[in-house]
Every structure is written in structure tokens, then in C-alpha cells.
Amino acid sequence: MPDSANSNYSGVTKEFIEKVKTFLYDHAAQKAYAIPGSPDVRRYELGKLLNEIMDKAKIDLPAAARTQLINDMTQEFLEFGVIQPLLDDPSVSEIMVNGSKKIYVEKQGVVDRSDLQFENDSLVLDLIQKIILPLGRKIDQDNPMVDARLPDGSRVNAIIPPVAIDGPTITIRKFQKGKLSMSRLVEIGSLTSGMAEFLRVCVLSKLNIIVSGGTGTGKTTLLNALSSFIPEKERIVTIEDAAELLLQQEHVVRMETKPSNIESKSAVTIRDLVRNSLRMRPDRIVVGEVRGGEAMDMLQAMNTGHDGSLTTLHANSPRDAVSRLETMCLMSGLEIPLRVIRQQIAAAIDLIIQISREKDGTRKVTAITEVCGMEGETVVLTDVFKYERTGISSDGKVLGQLKPTGIRPQFSIRLEANGYKLGPEIFGGSINNMLHPNKK
């Protein structure tokens, strides 16, 4: 609870204030956590709710004390307790709560244990409820896992017993307030200026692009940066489990999955949303991540005129990304031969961007790979850009070069047809386009 030792409580004993706070918490918590909307909207509605409860209970307080009490309680309901300092710390990119006594944080790609702790597991469970109730989500023994987001857009995953053996667990991928633009990614060495220009032209020319990478490699960050190249006049439909994409264009329709209700019915999945998006006259479909049978629907959309689609998936290389797509298409429930699935992939996908997190915590685009079609039973891939690791420096930094392979992609004709003719220096005609990622 917030500290009651405040000058605006003058004339009212601390014991009485604490009793009123406990009363308000007991009578308002469930409704308070379930109030939807932005922090400003929730603050206003919380004030109304607390005033109504105090009026109904005939709690008599001086005006200044009542105002202070409502401010304190509103802050309590809107903030996130023990982990609030970590949420406020801009250097923290990820927060991992492993039960009440172990909290880990990631800073600049390195994970360390925090000194902060919860008093008990009940407080961790309370925090989970505080996060998910405003979004209409639920978690209990029958549904012990949930994905959600904080009001600022940070991504949250929570699991509780019996699935979480050592106590309730929360993983928060913090929303980066200073959204990384493509130019900023170039500055920090994630890719080169030549690669960035190449990707800009590919997005403008409506190539279908997959961003592939492992957990925490920066796939969503790169997807956000790529989406910034979509022309303002186009209608964009975004589809996510928990909305975190931040597109700057005006004509954007954002859709988010919906979990099942208490009867385990009425769920709305990524696959449902992909299918529905085709009826919404999209110029672009942007799927935060494909994980299952929706991959087949996405490929069919790409193959039936919905060019310029963007999505991400978990894979460790472009070749693995193709294999993952095959597996996910087989999960669609459709009886389709593997060769036909591979033909769908080869026809639909133009480009795979592989991103990785290095041992020193830095994120790199390690390959930009063209999907060239089929050769026999195999989907043919050609690297257009490649990251070559050369060693480790004395201070533990990964050394390497991001550089073109010298191969001009087959879809260059398509780029030129859209008015974009890239010079030979982009594809390796000039040594100046190479970048040492650790060079200041």
C-alpha cells in the first residue's frame, strides 16, 4: 500500500487511513483491475469507483484527505508493485520473475539477478491478475498460461501452478519507448546502410518478407522498422496475439486474438484473424508471428494477390525457417502433399531476413536470403547478404562483417519494374559497403 504519512492526511490518524485503504482494496480491487482503457481513462474511472464506494459506506473524510486517499489508491491500482522500478528503468529490456524470490533482468543483452523480491507467491499472483484483468483475459488452474500486454505495450507471458512448479512466473518483454528505426539499427551495427536501402526497396515493391530468429533476437523490432517503409496511402491490417506493433501510418486496422471464455468457447485465434483479414480489403497484412496452421492461410493469401505481407517466425536459419513453415502448414489440418506445400512456400515468400543475438548481447541481421523457387523437391535459397563471424575480441565482443555476397537477386527485375534500380555497390561492387560491427 502507498505510504500514508502525507501532509494532506492532517487531522486523520494513520490507523484510520490504513483501515479505509484496506476496505477500499477489498471492495474495489476486482472491478478496478478490470477497468479497460488507457492509464488516463483508468485513472478517471478508478476515481469515480472509489468515491462511489466511500459514499455508499458513508466514510467521512476531509476533502483534502479524500483526494489524497483516492490518488494513493489509484496509483496502487495502476502501478505494478515490486517490479515498478524495473519497468521505469530504460536500461532494462526484459524482466523475468521466477517465483516470488527470484527476479532476473536483461540489460544490453546480458541477464543478471535483481536484488528485488516479492514477499510471497500470492503477491505475484495478484500482479498477474492486475495485468490481465483489464484485457479480459483469465488465468487459473484449468488455464495456467496467458499472454498479455501492459498499457505501454510491453509483452507479458505468465504461467502459474500446476504448470509452473516453483511458483508463478512472469516474463515481460519491455516496450522500447524510443522505437528503433531502420537508421538506428544501422547505427548500432545490426545491419549496413546498403542492406537497409535494399530492404526499403523490397518493402516498397511489395515483396513478401519473413523475419526469422530465435527468442529475444529482435524480430518484432525489425518488423516494426520494416513496416515504416509501407506507404502512407495503403491500408494495413495487423494481426497479433498481444498487440505490440506500432505502425506510424494512419490507415491501420489492429487486431488481437481473444482467449476462450469460462466455458472454453468463443476463442478467436490468429488463424481466424488471418482469414477474416482477407475480407477487409487489405493492401498489406502484417502478422506479428506465425506459430501454427495459420501459416497455410498466410501463404494462400500471399499467393492470391496479397503481396507485401510481413510476418515473423522462430527459426535459427533461413533453411530452418522454410522447414518451420512446412511443419506449420502440416498443422493446418489440410491433407496437402509436402511437395505442394513447398511449392506454395516457393511461390509465396520472396525474402527471409535472419536475425540473431550474439554471445555479447548484440543483435545482428545474419542473412538476407532470397527464395528462388523449386529445384526438384527442394526450395532453393540464395543469400544476398551474409554476416561472417571472424572471432572474439579481448573484451568479449563478437567480431565479424556484414557484407553482400555479390549475387543480385532474381527479383531485381521486379524492383526495377517498380522504379527502383539498385546500383552494383549494394550487392558487393564496392568494399565501402562492408561494415565492421564494432567500429566506432
Q: Is residue 43 part of a domain?
A: yes
Lowest-pLDDT choice from 27-31, 395-399, 422-426, 432-436:
432-436
> Quick one: the chain helix, strand, coil %, rounded to 5?
35, 25, 40
Same domain, 61 and 102: no
Q: Three-state SS for 120?
A: coil
Q: Tens of pLDDT along 114-148? A: 999 998 998 899 889 888 877 777 888 888 999 88
Q: How many domains does the chain have?
A: 3
CATH number at residue 161: 3.30.450.370
Same domain, 200 and 321: yes
Same domain, 252 and 396: yes
**Of 173, 198, 228, which residue sits at a domain end?**
173
Same domain, 235 and 309: yes
Same domain, 72 and 221: no
Same domain, 255 and 357: yes
Same domain, 64 and 202: no
Report, as an integer, the average pLDDT of 86-103: 92
> Which pTM value belongs to this model?
0.74
Same domain, 159 and 230: no
Q: Is residue 361 part of a domain?
A: yes
Residues of the domain holding 156 = 82-173
Q: Is residue 365 part of a domain?
A: yes
Same domain, 27 and 132: no
**Of 128, 144, 173, which residue sits at a domain end?**
173
Grid cell of 12 as nine digits: 486523520
Report, as an integer, the average pLDDT of 17-41: 81
Q: Is residue 1 part of a domain?
A: no
Same domain, 164 and 311: no
- Residue 158 predicted with pLDDT over 70: yes
Q: Is residue 64 part of a domain?
A: yes
Same domain, 162 and 306: no
Give the C-alpha separation, 124 to 117, whole Å. Answer: 10
**Of 173, 205, 227, which residue sits at a domain end?**
173
Same domain, 362 and 311: yes
CATH number at residue 319: 3.40.50.300
Tell me which of 315 and 398 has the higher pLDDT: 315
Q: Is residue 408 part of a domain?
A: yes
Grid cell of 414 as nine digits: 521486379
Report, as an integer, the average pLDDT of 283-303: 92
